[in-house]
Amino acid sequence: MKLFLFTLAAIFAVVILLGFWVLNKETRSAPDCPQKVYIVKRPDGESLECVCTEGALATCFKPGP
């Protein structure tokens, strides 16, 4: 019975930690939107033009005509 409770507690702890990690990952992936339009660089060096609506990221696309 002790082994079962320990296993259940360990699984619960792992689920909670994964939940915090996923929530943190999602919140830091979106850039701030102080302006309506701005240019960002992706990790591979390519530029993206991003548009914000009401302070939230709406869309990003390759800059150009």
How confident is the model over 1-35, as pLDDT tens digits?
999 999 999 999 999 999 888 877 655 555 567 77
Token code pair at residue 44: 């591979």
The mean pLDDT value for 56-61 works out to 80
If we measure between CA atoms, which residue out of 60, 61, 11 comes closest to residue 31? 60
- Spatial contact of 5 and 14, defined as CB atoms under 8 Å apart: no
Q: Which residue has the higher pLDDT, 2 or 53?
A: 2
* pLDDT for position 32: 63
Task: Give dist(CA 32, CA 43) in Å, integer.
Answer: 17
Q: Model-level pTM?
A: 0.42
Residue 55 reports pLDDT greater than 60:
yes
Confidence grade of residue 50 (pLDDT, cut at 50, 70, 90): confident
